[in-house]
Amino acid sequence: MLSGCELQHGVLLMGKWTKRFLDMAAVVAEWSKDPSTKVGAVAVAPDSRAVLSTGYNGLPRGVEDLPCRMERPGKYLWTAHAEENLIAHAARQTLKGATVYVTHLCCANCTRMLINAGIKKIVCGPGLTNMDYEHFAVARQMMKEAGIELEVEDVQQ
């Protein structure tokens, strides 16, 4: 047996549990509203095979579901990967309602994760990065639509 698969006559075959969970991930993928790429992910406990979390590619919770946000290249700023959503949904059990303090303004990638993990407030310090302004503009718009309170501090040391 190799990672839930077995070798038979030189061909790698999926085990029944591997097939079941890949089939489940395919069902979850269908929930995505992305017209060109539908990806699903399923996290499973190693011993019990219990499903711990699922995720599919899509917009963060509470962010307006506009068709233009699913078009390339803009969708790469707006949508979270299935794996990101899987992690965020699992983290939501711990982080729901929390405040995050971060030295820099959050980019679109991090904002998606924070929204999906249930963060309700983000407090940013004055740090600057070289990322394109568009990443931060999209991040602020997602925060606004998802009801995330943003506070930007000018910290004097």
Annotated catalytic residue, options 6, 30, 83, 153:
83
Look up residue 75 and give its amino acid.
Answer: K
Among residues 12, 41, 37, 43, the alpha carbon closest in space to that of 28 is found at 41
Its sign, for the CA torsion 92, 96, 102, 105, is positive
Say how far apart CA 141 and CA 154 lie, in whole Å: 21
Say how far apart CA 25 and CA 41 lie, in whole Å: 5
Among residues 55, 56, 78, the alpha carbon closest in space to that of 67 is found at 78
Its sign, for the CA torsion 109, 130, 142, 115, is positive
83 is an active site residue: yes
Q: What residues pair up with 152 in beta bridges, in sequence order?
A: 124
> What amino acid positions are annotated as catalytic residues?
83
